[in-house]
Amino acid sequence: MSAPTLDPRVTERRNPRTADIDLASPLAIVDLMTGEDRGVVDAVVSQREPIARAISAIETAFRSGRRLLYVGAGTSGRLGVLDASECPPTFGTNPTMVVGIIAGGDHALRNPIEGAEDSPVEGAAQMDVHHVQAGDVVVGIAASGTTPFVRGALLRARELGATTALLACSEPPPAMRDAADILMLPIAGPEVLTGSTRLKAGTATKLVLNMLTTGAMIRIGKSYGNLMVDLRATNVKLQDRAERIVCEVTGLPRDDAHTLLQQADGRVKRALVMHALQVDAATADARLADVGGVIRKLLPQAPPTVPVTATGA
């Protein structure tokens, strides 16, 4: 009998450490899965330099008024859409600034669309639908490194002049590598369940996407220290956070912070500049525009930190 042919994709290989997981107790399953997950962070750390290059490319795009677009299928596509959808409430961005594209369209977010990922032509077409152009950054997300929809999108995006990047958790073939200007390959090994890339590959992907948008947003001034000063107070929780940030930075009592935020039309960054420079909203906006929106250039001192009280001491 001939030896079985091994799939070159790491995500499709069998994991010898979990070969008997179907006999495991609930606690043993938890131990097996957490043991596997420990290696995910190391896989991401191994890609620190290309991830940093991608952050720089995205920062450049944002500063020139261009966009970040994620393209993926299945779990990879859903994670891209998730990360994109979190940017407006977290950073106060326009929803068109970070766009998530999933093979099969929005219906595929909740329902599997058979064969949607197999068409490079449809991937390319989506780049035209979304009017990709020079200055944009298109990040293809493909856990297996082989998704045709993603390959078609990246090749078309490059033709249109965009910067392209690939995030994959298995070594991509030459055709896929050649479609990307930046390769981010956090390869964490075979999955707990063979081929189930919503597990380690999904975790690695989420970690990298967190870094891409958070890193680029920080670089363009969406934070003051580690405070989210461009958040949109769209619910009670975020309104509370906005007021707490103003209180913490300015030392104002809660009622005064609430009043200041009202005068700043709910914009935390504007409120902080108004208070620090003793100016009105329009002047605060003008001063921020002069420094590219980076509040630290107007308020050089780091925001004060509240000491963390140890528990259980």
Is 64 in the same domain as 207? yes
If we measure between CA atoms, which residue out of 298, 226, 219 comes closest to residue 241? 226
- Residues of the domain holding 248: 222-313
CATH, residue 306: 1.10.8.1080
List, in order, residues 6 or more apart from 265 with CB less than 8 Å away: 281
Predicted confidence at residue 196, as pLDDT, reads: 87
CA nearest neighbour of 264 among 46, 92, 122, 27 = 92
Q: Are 132 and 160 within 8 A, CB to CB?
A: yes
Is 32 part of any domain?
no
122 and 262 within one domain: no
**215, 226: one domain:** no
List residues with catalytic annotation.
86, 117
Which of 184, 219, 254 lies at the terminal end of a domain, its last residue? 219
Structure tokens at 260: 């200041």
Q: Using DSSP, how many helices (H) and how many strands (E) does the chain show?
A: 11, 5
Count the domains in the chain.
Answer: 2
The residue assigned the tokens 């504007």 is 270
At 312 the pLDDT is 44
Residue 135 and residue 275 in one domain: no
CA neighbor of 165 nearest in space, from 181, 145, 146, 147: 181
Residue pair 139/156 in contact by the 8 Å Cβ criterion:
no
Indicate whether 82 and 114 sit together in one domain: yes
* Among 185, 219, 253, residue at a domain's last position: 219
Q: Does 238 lie in the same domain as 189? A: no
Q: pLDDT digit of tens for each residue in the chain (313 aa)?
A: 555 566 778 888 888 888 899 899 999 999 999 999 999 999 999 999 999 999 999 999 999 999 999 999 999 999 999 999 999 988 989 999 999 999 999 989 888 776 788 899 999 999 999 999 999 999 999 999 999 999 999 999 999 999 999 999 999 999 999 999 999 999 998 888 898 889 999 999 999 999 999 999 999 999 999 999 987 777 888 889 999 999 999 999 999 999 999 999 999 999 999 999 999 999 999 999 999 999 999 999 888 876 655 544 3
Task: Flag whether 302 is in a domain.
Answer: yes
Question: Considering the domain boundaries, does residue 168 fall inside one?
Answer: yes
Assigned domain for 70 exists: yes
